[in-house]
Amino acid sequence: MATFEGGCACGAVRYRLTSEPMIVHCCHCADCQRQTGGAFAVNALIETDRIELLGEAPAAISMPTDSGRPHDIHRCASCQTAVWSDYGRRPQLRFVRATTLDDPQALAPDVHIFTRSKLPWVTLPPEVPAFEVYYDMAKVWRPESLQRREAILGGG
Ligand SMILES: [Zn+2]
Ligand SMILES: [Zn+2]
């Protein structure tokens, strides 16, 4: 089984993913751009219990959102690097910032989302599905990943 280790910039927060994620999003939404200062965020969706903490635990910071749906970013208390997010206060599910892995190219995006706000100088690979906003999970997720999601969240 593959393992993926990562952490924050100062090294206080260290973690290991104990399996592949369910799916990897490359999110081009305006929130991700502002919050990261980059062109997009690469989020690996994985069960919280498949993240093994090897150092300090990050601290959750609540972000303002347009939708009103809660979004907490978990950051190193010392250097403030964001290592993962909790969208919708679902403690079983984490959106790990995949480029905080020691090997930042270990997890490539399975899908590009919110391309309506993609920066014009970012060119997407034609072979990876891309959506203006979001997508139908039943069509995009691997069946095995859908089962994993259902195991932690139920059908919803
Ligand atoms: Zn740190
Ligand atoms: Zn986003």
Residue-wise pLDDT for 124-147, tens only, equals 999 999 999 999 999 999 999 999
Q: How far apart are CA 18 and CA 3, in angstroms?
A: 5
- State the ligand closest to the CA atom of 55: 1
**Residues flanking ion ligand 1, Cβ below 5 Å:** 8, 10, 12, 76, 78-79
Mean pLDDT of 57-66: 92
pTM: 0.95
Mean pLDDT of all residues belonging to the chain: 95
Please give the Cα distance from 120 to 137 (Å, whole number): 26
CB 61 within 8 A of CB 71: no
Tell how far the Cα of 131 is from the centroid of ligand 1, in angstroms.
33
pLDDT for residue 83 is more than 90: yes
Burial of 25 (0-12, 13-18, 19+ CB in 10 A): buried
The predicted structure's pLDDT at residue 2: 58
d(C-alpha 133, C-alpha 140), whole Å:
14
